[in-house]
Amino acid sequence: MSKTVQQSIEDRIASRDLRVAILGLGYVGLPLAAAFAEAGFSVIGIDVDEKKVRLINRGASYIEDIPNDRLAPLVASGSLRATSDFNILDTCDSVSVCVPTPLRKTGAPDISHILSATDAIAKRLHPGMIIVLESTTYPGTTTEVILPRFHQEAMNLGVGKDFFLCFSPERVDPGRKDWTTKNTPKVMGGVTSSCLQVGQALYESAIESVVPVSSTEAAELTKLVENTFRAVNIGLANEVLLICDKLGLNAWEVIEAAATKPFGFMKFLPGPGLGGHCIPIDPQYLSWKLRTLGYTARFIELATEINTAMPKYWVHCIQDILNEDGKPLRGSNVLVIGVAYKKNVGDLRESPALDILKLLRDKGAEISYHDPLVSAFTLDELEMVSVTDLDRALESADCVLIATDHASYDWAELYARARLVVDTRATLHREQDEILQYSQEQVKL
């Protein structure tokens, strides 16, 4: 009896006789491509950005988590190559879709990248093909949006029989060294049980553990719950800061003390606001979907309200501390330390530091910034360049705002040189004894 499509594809997975495509070569796609290539597959990375394609084919990485000395050997051996030609999908057996899912200006999900990837695949859908969507999206995208497009284009092919469709959310934490694409458990749901079996067999050959769930919707929601959990708890940490401000207490001291509880507590810290391309965005995908079902996800909406108000809170702190020094914000020189959305990365996406800079500029302050990982950027039309002489900039600033606590800074040195400091990360004041070293008028947490 001839083998079913599923049996033959599973045999080819086992013998690594499979051409794996990764569509979208960003901070998710490139590490995934490397993991499959290192697992012995022939991997084709596909991206619309010719520059990325050229860099990869030269063994040059643009993703901090994938150093050149890991990428170059994969390219040199022929295990991994990149292209911008989508026709290559005709010869690929699997394709993992790792494209961005931002928000529209209206706050609604923008799945346009998923749609164009789906249409490109649908045109080239062939028997035995495995499609795994990794991009974070609202529950229902895989079965209500992607699957119908495949069936329109390839009426003769049946899902779960001729091709296999899964959702498996990415869990990349940029900059993290301990948990990587390879060793972070990977949740996966299939449109049918055979889809899940095939998708799981493929991913288990490159990733240490795959966590099967009952449907693609369950997998889509799992990711949103993970990131909503973070956004809501960061919102709570920021509200603890606002509460401590009213009570004249140090939020970091209180939260660090609470974190000594060995069970039943998970530490989140206040900050300048919520940055990155995931945590501020993903919960909005969930609340949008729920609104279409007539439900308001109040925790998400409240956390968003608190988190997005943090830049304004910190600008008021700067105004207050300058006021106590007899200086108006207008015309004062404010230096922002660290503009990336979190420590030790050079990524500006949704960074609250940018909102703080815009607010300061709109209130007439003279703004400048220093960030060892961000050399320059454009703030609306304003060209911003990181100051070169940090010591001089610290000494000439009327007030310094610490927005991103990159590990490379010497905080004691910075405080010693700065006249006034507003510290959104409490870089020095995690321990009680150090809190007493700086009188209140110099430091506003």
- Contact assessment for residue 343 and residue 402, using Cβ atoms and an 8 Å cutoff: no
251-267: b (≥16 Cβ within 10 Å) or e: bbbebbeeeeeeeeeee
Beta carbon of residue 127, minimum distance to ligand SAJ (angstroms, whole number): 33
CA 172 to CA 258: how far, in whole Å? 28
Interacting span for ligand SAJ (CB under 6 A) from 68-76, 265-273, 313-321, 366-374? 265-273
Site for ligand SAJ in 233-262 (CB under 6 A): 234, 237
Is position 444 an interface residue for ligand SAJ (rule: CB under 6 A)?
no
With beta carbons less than 8 A apart as the criterion, state whether 353 and 369 touch. yes
Provide the minimum distance between the beta carbon of 35 and ligand SAJ in the complex, in angstroms, as a whole number.
Answer: 15
- The span from the CA of 241 to the CA of 313, in Å, is 10
Q: Least distance (Å) from ligand SAJ to the CB of residue 114?
A: 16
Query: How far, in Å, CA of 47 to CA of 51, rounded?
Result: 9
Among 30, 122, 251, 279, binds ligand SAJ (CB under 6 A): 279
Task: Tell me if 186 contacts ligand SAJ by CB under 6 A.
Answer: no
| 368 DSSP β-pair partners | 335
CB of 34 to ligand SAJ, least distance (A): 17
Catalytic residue (one of 92, 98, 166, 278): 278
26 touches ligand SAJ by CB under 6 A: no
With CB under 6 A as the contact rule, the residue among 274, 335, 428, 443 that binds ligand SAJ is 274
Q: How far apart are CB 341 and ligand SAJ at their closest, in Å?
A: 4
- 282 near 224, Cβ under 8 Å? yes
Of 164-172, 287-295, 319-327, 430-438: span binding ligand SAJ (CB under 6 A)? 164-172
Q: Does 190 bind ligand SAJ (CB under 6 A)?
A: no
Q: How far is the CB of 239 from ligand SAJ (least distance, A)?
A: 12
Q: Binding of ligand SAJ at residue 52 (CB under 6 A)?
A: no
Q: Site for ligand SAJ (CB under 6 A): which residue of 86, 150, 252, 268?
A: 268
Asked whether position 329 contacts ligand SAJ by CB under 6 A, the answer is no
Shortest distance, position 124 Cβ to ligand SAJ, whole Å = 28
Contact window for ligand SAJ (CB under 6 A) among 58-66, 171-179, 239-247, 316-324? 171-179
Q: Which stretch binds ligand SAJ (CB under 6 A): 16-24, 156-164, 264-272, 390-398?
A: 264-272
Binding ligand SAJ (rule: CB under 6 A), the pick from 172, 321, 353, 387 is: 172
Minimum CB separation of residue 406 from ligand SAJ in Å reads 12
Which residues within the stretch 214-233 sit at the binding site for ligand SAJ (CB under 6 A)? 227, 230
Residue 278 binds to ligand SAJ (criterion: CB under 6 A): yes
**Should residue 281 be labelled a site residue for ligand SAJ when binding is judged by CB under 6 A?**
no
> Pattern of binders to ligand SAJ over 287-326, x per CB under 6 A?
----------------------------------------
Contact status: 36 vs ligand SAJ (CB under 6 A):
no
**Of 230 and 429, which CB lies nearer to ligand SAJ in the complex structure?**
230
Distance CA 168, CA 135 (A): 8
Which residue in the set 189, 275, 311, 338 belongs to the binding site for ligand SAJ (CB under 6 A)? 275
Closest CA to 378 of 354, 362, 359, 402: 354
Could you tell me the sign of the dihedral formed by the alpha carbons of 12, 15, 16, 17, in that order? negative
> Within 81-110, which residues bind ligand SAJ (CB under 6 A)?
none
**278 among known catalytic residues:** yes
Position 276: which residue type?
G
Q: β-pairing, 130-133 with 421-423?
A: unpaired
Which spans of this chain sit near ligand SAJ (rule: CB under 6 A)?
170-174, 227, 230, 234, 237, 268-269, 271, 274-276, 278-279, 341-342
The catalytic site residues sit at 278
